[in-house]
Amino acid sequence: MNNFDFLVGAWDSVQRRLAEPLTGSDDWDEFTGRTRCYSLLGGAANLDEVTFPEKGFGGVTLRLLDRETDEWSIYWANSRTGILALPPVVGRFVDGVGEFFSEEDYQGRPIVVRYRWSDITGTTARWAQAFSPDQGRTWETNWEAEFTRTGA
């Protein structure tokens, strides 16, 4: 429990998103993000809202801890669609690194999605999303964010 307490508060971020995942492309789009995160249910839930001013959209992340399995389920919805993306990525923190996985469909092909939280300090954190088209044998990072606490 309380694994996501580090994220509570206000953050600025530098976001890098791969323009065309799983195509061999190395064309990255860089933009900023602003996040405000709240702890709920005594640390067993966590909610954040992120805005991407240069992109004109934002999103909401809900994280819920299953107390029986000690695993977090992470749900995402963005303002462009207003649809809760399912399934959630599910996983846990081990030795200060959180890894969360789901099996999904991307442009008609089955993939495994991985979110990874790492390099967590009192004022910084790193998040990355990767796709695997081969059941986790290889991974392509396609979105990453470097977070810096704003104090506001």
How far, in Å, CA of 138 to CA of 132, rounded? 6
CB atoms within 10 A of CB 98: 22
- State how far Cα 32 lies from the chain centre: 15
Specify the length of the chain in residues: 152
Do β-strands 28-40 and 97-106 pair in parallel, antiparallel, or remain unpaired? unpaired
How far, in Å, CA of 137 to CA of 99, rounded? 15
Residue 18's SS3 state is strand
Percentage of residues in the chain having pLDDT higher than 70: 99
pLDDT at 152 over 70: no
Short-list 44, 45, 18, 41, CA closest to 29? 18
pTM: 0.93
Residue 2: the pLDDT is 84
pLDDT band, very low/low/confident/very high, at 68 (cuts 50, 70, 90): very high
pLDDT of 92-146, one tens digit each?
999 999 999 999 999 999 999 999 999 999 999 999 999 999 999 999 999 999 9
